[in-house]
Chain A
Amino acid sequence: MLIVSCPNCGITAEETEFHAHGEAHITRHAVGSSDDQMETYLFMRKNPKGVHFERWRHQYGCGKWFHMARCTMTLEVFGTYSAQTYSPPDDLLARIDARRPGWREAT
């Protein structure tokens, strides 16, 4: 069972209060894009063994969206961060570097 902290309201609770919504930081392609771009946006997923950045929603709490970094091999939660960003914050990346040396080459 995951223990998650919502960066919006500050509450820490177990996973049943939250809902996962898949890979984060995906480029959204729309009208005018190619078939390949559309396919990548809609269906192609990194699905890594290891560090995964994903979108979550505090479904049964404040209702707001946020991001999470998590390990799919151990279920360790590295941290959560704001939904209003295109990439994970540096301090979180540094924390992951310390916990999983070499993970950037692996993904």
Chain B
Amino acid sequence: MKKYSVFAVAREAMRHHTGWTRAWRDAAPKKRYDAIIIGAGGHGLATAYYLGKNFGITNVAILEKGWLGGGNTGRNTTIIRSNYLQDPSAALYEKSRSLYETMSQDLNYNVMFSPRGVIMLAQTEHEVRGYKRTAHANMLQGVKTEFIGPEKVKELVPIINLAGPRYPVLGGLWQARGGTARHDAVAWGYARACSDMGMDVIQQCNVTGIRSEGGKVVGVSTSKGDIDCDKLGIVVAGHSGHLADMAGFRLPLESVALQALVSEPIKPCMDVVVMANTVHGYMSQSDKGEMVIGGGTDGYNNYTQRGSFHHLEETVRALIETFPMVSRLKMLRHWGGIVDVTGDRSPILSKTPVDGVFINCGWGTGGFKAIPGSGWAMAELMAKGHSPLTDAFGLERFTEGRFIDESVAAGVAH
């Protein structure tokens, strides 16, 4: 792998950019790997990366049925924050946020992490109380957040309308070190680093079956033939139920559509991320100047990557009340992704009833922020059989009634 640097850019400029090599190899599957990861989204790639980096396991293949990063990783609105309520979530999401701070250096790939700050608006008395509680919990967890009043909100977001007729802004939960990153770059950066460690990133390889003998995994069947492995990580977000079915177990998940849209590019007008959970909408401005907008999920099971129009309407209506100036913006693109939602709105990082099969799913509407932390923890789980970061997120929590209730922290999609 050629290292990217300012000197490399200068050198290539001198020779008309003819010397760049491909960021990762296109690989054909081998007969056998120590570990196979299904799904080349951010979580799958980060898992593979840390299997190699932290545990020296590099005989690894990452199998992707479509193209790398083409699932939710390439469809999300890239909000990164760690202001959750429960201790296990705070530990995992804060680990992740802190890994984002050095990701560009670690991967030698510019992921454009921008810790511009995230505000979650409080627009009812309940939200004020709820966010003060979160700020207190975060203080105990060592996650820096603070509850701010409406004047501070206005100072941070000059384009906001505090006196929204139905839901005035009463304050907000502010995490100054939250922000955004370039989603595709996260996937590409990890893929390049994995390939460099000798791992095979295999695209257009659809996993159609999981083979086991005597309760232990022996390999997978794919559109590119059978491949054997000792350990298998299923990291396929909205398709998790389907893969679990192949392995012979069930999951406490439902797959629903979540949509997002972006506007035409405009001059810089908002340099923080604003989320309004009561009215169901959130917005940030990309480096290109587009306003990036998202809202709530659809209410029913869905695998079509298409959502309902009325949910978009609801989101846009909410944002126009909160930011009157966006009412004249034209929207450029709109899309949907299939997110896997659990009963307690927390992810699953777990062993499964099949020996050697591990699952990482249930990130629902908010797993982009968790990519590096989740990969770090999942790699430890796969390599050692357990990880302090994943212990609380096992599948058994649903039988034992030991939920990690984040339905408030994750109430709106982000």
Contacts and interface: CB of A to CB of B under 8 A. Distances in A.
Nearest to A21: B299
Contacts of B310: 1, 15-16
A60 interface: no
A70 interface: yes
Interface stretch (A25-33, A72-80, A82-90, A94-102): A72-80
A47 B300 CA distance: 10
A52 interface: yes
B300 A70 contact: yes
A44 interface: yes
Interface stretch (B88-96, B206-214, B252-260): B252-260
Size category of the A interface is 20 to 34
B304 A47 contact: no
A49 to B, nearest CB: 5
- Measured as residues with beta carbon below 8 angstroms from the partner, the interface class of chain B is 20 to 34
Interface string B289-319: 0000000000111111010111000000000
B343 A22 contact: no
Contact of B309 (A1, A70, A74): A1
A74 B241 CA distance: 18
B250 A54 contact: no
A105 interface: no
A20 B398 contact: no
A35 B302 contact: no
B251 interface: yes
B242 interface: yes
B18 interface: no
Interface string B367-389: 00000000000000000000000
B250 A75 contact: no
Contact of A43 (B252, B301, B302, B306): B252
Contacts of A52: 301
B398 A43 contact: yes
Given A44-B250, A47-B241, A47-B253, A35 B301 contact: no
B302 A72 contact: yes
A72 B253 CA distance: 15
A18 to B, nearest CB: 9
Nearest to A73: B303
B399 interface: yes
Given A35-B400, A72-B303, A75-B304, A47 B255 contact: yes
Given A39-B399, A47-B254, A73 B304 contact: yes
B312 to A, nearest CB: 11
B238 to A, nearest CB: 9
Contacts of A43: 252, 342-343, 398
B304, B309, B310, B399 pick with most chain A CB within 10 angstroms: B399
A44 B399 contact: no
A47 B299 contact: no
A19 B241 CA distance: 23
Nearest to A18: B299
Given A16-B310, A35-B399, A44 B251 contact: yes
A47 B243 CA distance: 11
B345 to A, nearest CB: 12
Interface in A1-42: 1-2, 15-16, 19-20, 22-23, 35-36, 38-40, 42
Given A39-B398, A43-B343, A72-B301, A15 B308 contact: yes
7 contacts: A1-B308, A19-B299, A22-B254, A23-B301, A47-B241, A47-B255, A74-B304
A-B residue pairs, 5 tightest by C-beta: A43-B252, A20-B300, A47-B241, A20-B299, A39-B399
Interface of B: 241-242, 250-255, 299-304, 306, 308-310, 342-343, 398-400
